[in-house]
Amino acid sequence: MQVVLASGNQGKLKELQRLFTPLGLDVITQQSLGIAGAEEPFATFVENALTKARHASKQSKLPAIADDSGLVVPSLGGAPGVHSARFAGDNATDADNNQKLITQLFDSNGQPIKATSAHFYCALVFVTAADDPAPVLATGRWFGEIQYQACGDNGFGYDPYFFVPELQLTSAQLPAADKNRLSHRGQASAKLLPQLSELFG
């Protein structure tokens, strides 16, 4: 059975294909079907993920899965939050977003001016159809803190600045297999899979 991923992100596609193939689900991107991304007008990850999944399913007439995820820094009022990918503007690069984050947490001398505890959050939503009244939902949180200097070459986004104290490493320093298991998306996926196994028996 084909399932549409409400994203064109190849990294997400590879992760979900590896997870869902054992269930007999073939994950393809909405981009490969010529489907444009949905608007994400809501203040929560869950609402945006559901909106994206319903949009992809409606356009493709196939089951769909969507995730909405990002970085939450409590001392910044939850920012970047649902705006994580465009924190520094609509066409912002990872470097732009990270620079804005660091600027807001630290002064020009590199001294912290706000608490740096943070967590990554992921909401995964699966719908069998656009009007599915009972979507499958799973969430995950990965706790850490923001450090001033970037470390590591793996990952993307805020990974080089997201430090995990118990590992004494940033997300970008972790091997992919470890990150996939520990991360917010890994946690959400681990919760989603048993539910889909029941659904598709």
Catalytic residue positions, numbered? 68
Q: How far is CA 76 from the centre of its chain?
A: 19
Virtual torsion, Cα 93, 99, 102, 108, nearest 10 deg: 180
User: What are the residues whose beta carbons fall under 8 Å from the beta carbon of 193, sequence distance 6 or more?
Assistant: 19, 20, 23
Tokens of 40: 């994400």
Distance CA(176)–CA(156), nearest Å, equals 12
Tokens 């992100």 — which residue? Answer: 9
Helix ranges (H only) for the chain are 10-20, 45-60, 94-105, 176-182, 184-200
Distance CA(141)–CA(136), nearest Å, equals 18
